[in-house]
Amino acid sequence: MSTTIQSTPETATALNQLDQLKQFTKVVADTGDFVSIKEFAPQDATTNPSLILKVAVMPAYKSVVARAIADGKKSGATGKALLSQIVDDLLVAFGLEILKIVPGRVSTETDASLSFDTEGLINKAHKFISLYGKEGIGPERILIKIASTWEGIRAAEVLQKEGINCNMTLLFSLAQAVACAEAKARLISPFVGRILDWYKAKTGKDYAPAEDPGVLSVREIYAYYKKFGHATEVMGASFRNVGEILELAGCDLLTISPTLLAELKASRAPVPRKLSPDMAKASTINRLELDEKKFRFLLNDDAMATEKTAEGIRVFAADTLKLEKFLSEQL
């Protein structure tokens, strides 16, 4: 993580909010639109099937799609296998372009249909690492995104022992976060905005940023990790507004859409640090003892986490199918 210098009203007049945030949080671009990434100079970038689908259909990226199709055809596969190969090649193609811009890592997501298939997830991760390796990119610059199911967490445990770093996505609860940390996942991505969406839909209430259920969830996870010495990084994700981001200033990483990055860059209001390891270690949170039975019960007992995890898997799987349909039309 970068330096922990806190911004002051004096420095705030000189620095925009994005630059202030970068003083104590690693800023990550949440997009597949690598052209837009350059403007904000993030350390890392994350992608997912929905983001890749959004940019793949844009004329500006026609050459990237064409290259993925050409690479896929070289595999000799046909039918469904060919489409699956082209999707993998396309995800890696966008990742390669992003890595030309960011100095750090890119997150590439596994197929959501594999979310309950530990062996399938391990094999897919190996395939992505191989595809990147053929282009001269080592595993240290790649994060393999895996849904935070029990099976996904077990896959991450194996991959981390092999030196393949994992970004655990579709994470909505402390139980998921603790299981990921105990599996020694490199990074987790708790979905702030989707948690807020669920609570707003259920209660009909609006929430101030400091009371935002998604913000509170990430604060709890961050406090747990720092108090109990877990090395897994916390990267808040899926933001709905700048207020959520500012309430998590000081989190290890935050992955932010270009729209919200632009808002931060346009403001020079002060950005006080809200999270730090020292503050977290003073937390009264208790250690959670987990095994598979306890994990499944706690996840089932949390209606929000259960529903949003399932919904996220369905949406990403559906967008992968849409991406395959688009690519089949290009063949």
The HSE-up count of residue 48 (CA atoms within 13 Å, CB side) is 23
With beta carbons less than 8 A apart as the criterion, state whether 270 and 20 touch: yes
Token code pair at residue 134: 């053929």
User: What DSSP letter does each residue of 205-229 carry, written as one string?
Assistant: ----GGG-HHHHHHHHHHHHHHHTT
Token code pair at residue 255: 């992955």
Selecting among 124, 145, 226, 274, the annotated active-site residue is 145
Instruction: Looking at 100-206, list the stretches that DSSP marks H as alpha helix, in order from N- to C-terminal side.
Output: 118-134, 150-161, 174-182, 192-203
Q: Is 26 a catalytic residue?
A: no
How many Cβ atoms are within 10 Å of 101's Cβ, its own excluded? 16
With beta carbons less than 8 A apart as the criterion, state whether 50 and 30 touch: no
Distance CA 191, CA 184 (A): 19
- Which residues are identified as catalytic? 145
